[in-house]
Amino acid sequence: MRLVLLGPPGAGKGTQARLLARARAVPHVATGDMLRDAVAAATPLGRQARGYMEQGALVPDDIMIGLVGERLAQPDAKRGFVLDGFPRTLAQAEALDRVLAALGQALDAVIYLEVSEPELLRRLTGRRVCPGCQATYHLVSHPPRTAGRCDRCGQALVQREDDTEATVRRRLAVYAEQTAPLLEHYRRRGLLRAVPGEGAIDEIQAALQAAADGRVAAAGGGR
């Protein structure tokens, strides 16, 4: 199957996409991994991407689309794939349509992980890191043994600027603004299926499997 998994930051896309891809025996195509692989292999597009990444800049759409096209053209993706982290915008979605058409393929479904804003805030603002050994914790799901202290080296844990509530709210607002047209694009084509992204990992995965199999109705209008 050829699937796209969408969801806001903190929705758990990476974990769920890996499980879904493993169950379907198809590659999990994550943009971050794809970029790192292309850079490590020093492909022409990877060399272009590296320049932007080293400057801390966003990799332009044309390079990202080229990388996605290269990855989906590889032999292991002929049977299908689970795309995670792409597309993020309507322009990328339209480019993906063109890439797949050139390969003689089409998407089977686009699954959107729905998670409430309070839950996303809880997940994203709860992270704490050790400035010494870089160990990562979460106040709810993975707390340190001693509150506020690293289990490994004992240093005081800190909250990254990216994880503050104000920053997280801005990230979520930008995501919602960019993604609304994308969701409508797939809804109009009858490809969009919404799955609750809160609860136990195995329960969410079961819902994703049902959506992939078409046992979840396509999302209607109004969102």
| Residues carrying an active site annotation | 13, 88, 127, 160, 171
Q: Which among 90, 51, 44 is positioned nearest to 67, based on CA atoms?
A: 44
Compute how many other C-beta atoms are within 10 angstroms of the C-beta atom of residue 156.
11
Chain mean position to CA 3: 12
Rounded CA-CA distance 76/109 in Å is 19
End-to-end CA distance of the chain: 26
Chain mean position to CA 163: 17
Q: Vertex 85, ends 80 and 87: CA angle to 5°? A: 80
Rounded CA-CA distance 30/17 in Å is 9
CA atoms within 13 A on the CB side of 161: 0
> Exposure string (b/e) for 161-184, b if CB count within 10 Å is 16 or more?
eeeeeeebeebbeebeeebeebbe
